[in-house]
């Protein structure tokens, strides 16, 4: 389990490595994540600290087991902030 960041994808594209397997782009070193029992506030902090707009939600028993994802739009929406500018 890990994260493929936008910068990794952009670098692969710039190098013409568009057929390279995603497994070669995954950063699995202590990847940013949250657990289902953690707060939206913590999710927002993690999203901001690593400048991502999506985080995996993983099992506490096995961080390689994906439970779901949380997006910046989800978190901000729960606080009543609409990134699309709609009301």
Mapped onto helix, strand or coil, the DSSP state of residue 42 is helix
Write the DSSP string, 44-60.
HHHHHHHT-SEEEEE-S
Provide the residue-wise pLDDT of the chain in tens; the chain has 87 residues: 777 777 778 888 898 888 878 777 776 667 889 999 999 999 999 999 988 899 999 999 998 899 999 999 999 999 898 877 655
- Predicted structure pTM score: 0.72
DSSP state of 84: T
Place of tokens 């960041």: 5
CATH superfamily for 32-87 is CBS-domain (3.10.580.10)
Place of tokens 């927002």: 44
Q: Phi/psi at 21 (nearest 5 deg)?
A: -60, 145
The domain limits of the chain are: 1-28, 32-87
């Amino acid at each position: 389990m890990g994260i493929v960041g936008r910068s990794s994808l952009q670098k692969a594209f710039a190098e013409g490595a568009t057929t390279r397997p995603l497994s070669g782009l995954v950063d699995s070193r202590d990847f940013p994540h949250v657990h289902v029992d953690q707060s939206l506030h913590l999710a927002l902090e993690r999203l901001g600290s690593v400048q991502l707009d999506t985080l995996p939600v993983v099992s506490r028993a096995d961080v390689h087991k994906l439970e779901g994802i949380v997006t910046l739009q989800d978190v901000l929406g729960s606080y009543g902030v609409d990134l699309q500018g709609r009301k």
